[in-house]
Structure formats: structure tokens, C-alpha cells
Amino acid sequence: MIPSDASPKKLRYLYLHGFGSGPNSAKGVATAEHYARLGVAIERLDLRLPSLEHLRVSAMIDAVRQRIGSEDERAVIFGSSLGGLVASRVAEADRRVVALVLLAPAFGLIPRWKQRLGEQAWARWEATGWHEVHDYTTSKPARVDFDFIRDLERVDPPAQGFPDVRVPTLIVHGVQDEVVDIEGSRMFASGRSHVRLVEVPDGHNLIASVPRILTEADAFLAPFLGGALRA
């Protein structure tokens, strides 16, 4: 159900990028440009907080909540991968969030990373304090400290399961996603009438599916965008 106080004049539109990415990601730029043509400004937040090396999801959540603004403002949040997880955790605790558009949301991040890395690599990360990753903004190797995981365990505890999101939610996820298995999105959407899952023939970056993402988002957000889509 669309909240009665979600008029376009009171809404902020935020875009949250994924892990190792930044506010100038291809999907983020394409989304912002698309909605700018409709007269809707989407703010692309920089979630490399406080830095990629010392990434903290708790800091991301705080930054998003601060950016929404005052108590009488509302927000529609686009979230890609890790940004989708952040958006979901914000939405479950902050009544100002009225809708989510999630792109391959990174639900179950800790158990997935443990499985993907294997026991030895995971133990090495914890013992040394560092794990090498790819920085998509520079196309160079980077590293992330293990306190990223310790912080994530507090804000996204594996035992808790999925975020308790109760606002209208659109998910677009690639069936060929090699990073975040689509099964997580399928499980999240199952039994939740307010969640629409769109499966596309694509991988994790969803670049080929940007036109479909924007078409689905336009239809989903029509009640929030008001006359923008009819202009």
C-alpha cells in the first residue's frame, strides 16, 4: 500500500551503490540521468565510509538516514548489491522510507562470503586483518579490513535472516548472477505481497538490463512520481 503522506513534494530519491563501487557507477549514473529527464533528482550517495579499506555498513546506514533529512521528509531508495542490503536495513527501522528499488540485493552477505572464500581464506582475513578486493572505481586492487565483517555482524546478523522490510519493494535480479545468488531474492519475495521480483537474463552487474530496470522502476514508482511520467 502506498503511504498517504508520500507526495512527490516531500520525497527524496537516493541511489546507493554496491561494494567496491562508487556514486559514479554505470547503473547509478544511468538511473539518475533517466529520472533527471523526468524532472526527478536522484542523489547518488558515496558509501565508501569512512574509506574502502575501513568500510563500515553501520556508517553507511547512518549516512543514509542523515541524508533523508527531517522527520517530515520521506525517501525512495534505489540500492545495488551491498547498497540494496543497506537500503533494506534502513527501511526496516526508519518510517521515512516509503519504497525500495533493489538491484541484486546482497542479502546474507556474511555466510555467502564465508562460502565463497573458503575456510582458509576467511581465517587468513581474520588473522591478518586484511583481504584483497577489486576497486571498481579505480580498476585496481584494494583491501578491506576484517572489522568490516565485525561491524556487519552487528547490523546484519546472520541469525536474524532477512531485513524486516514492510514498504513496497521492487527487486530486479539476474538469473545468471555469479556473485549474489538469485535464490536469496526469491526467498525474500516469497510470501511478501508488497515485494515484486523481476528476474532478468543477466549477471551481477545488470548493465545489459538497465533499460528493463528503468521500465520496471517507472511503473513501480508511478504513484510516487505523480505527473512526472506523464509529462
Give a yes or no: residue 146 inside a domain.
no
Residue 116, in any domain of the structure:
no
Parent domain of 194: 8-107+161-230
**How remote is the C-alpha of 84 from its chain's centroid?**
2
Q: pLDDT averaged over the chain?
A: 93
Tell me which H or E stretch contains 163: none
In a domain, 181, yes or no: yes
**Residue 39 is part of a domain; what is its CATH number?**
3.40.50.1820
Q: Is 229 exposed, middle or buried (0-12, 13-18, 19+ CB in 10 A)?
A: middle
The strand pair at 140-145 and 130-135 is best described as antiparallel
185 neighbors 167 (Cβ within 8 angstroms): no
What are the φ/ψ torsions at residue 221 (nearest 5 degrees)? -90, 0
Lowest mean pLDDT among 10-14, 99-103, 163-167: 10-14
pLDDT band at 229 (very low <50, low <70, confident <90, very high): low
Taking residues 157-181, what's their average pLDDT?
96
Question: Is 145 among the domain residues?
Answer: no
The stretch 76-86 carries a mean pLDDT of 98
Would 153 be classed as within a structural domain? no
Confidence band (pLDDT; 50, 70, 90) for 225?
confident
3, pLDDT greater than 80: no
Say if 89 falls within a structural domain: yes
> For residue 201, how many C-alpha atoms fall within 13 Å in the half-sphere facing its CB?
0
Q: What is the pLDDT of residue 230?
A: 46
Peptide bond into 105 cis (omega under 30): no
Domain count within the chain: 1
Strand partners for 142: 133
Task: Using the predicted structure, report yes or no on whether residue 160 has a pLDDT greater than 60.
Answer: yes
User: Could you tell me if 42 and 32 are in contact, meaning their C-beta atoms sit under 8 angstroms apart?
Assistant: yes
3-state secondary structure of 185: helix
pLDDT at residue 2, rounded to an integer:
45
Residue 71 domain-assigned (yes or no): yes
- What is the model's pTM? 0.93
128 occurs within a structural domain:
no
Q: pLDDT (tens digit, 9 = 90+) per residue, 8-63? A: 457 999 999 999 999 999 999 999 999 999 999 999 999 999 999 999 999 999 99
Give CA–CA dist 226/231, Å, rounded: 10
Query: Which residues, in sequence order, are bridge partners of residue 173?
Result: 199
Spell out the residues 6+ positions from residue 95 whose beta carbon is closer than 8 angstroms to its own. Answer: none
Of 203, 24, 185, which Cα lies nearest the Cα of 101?
A: 185
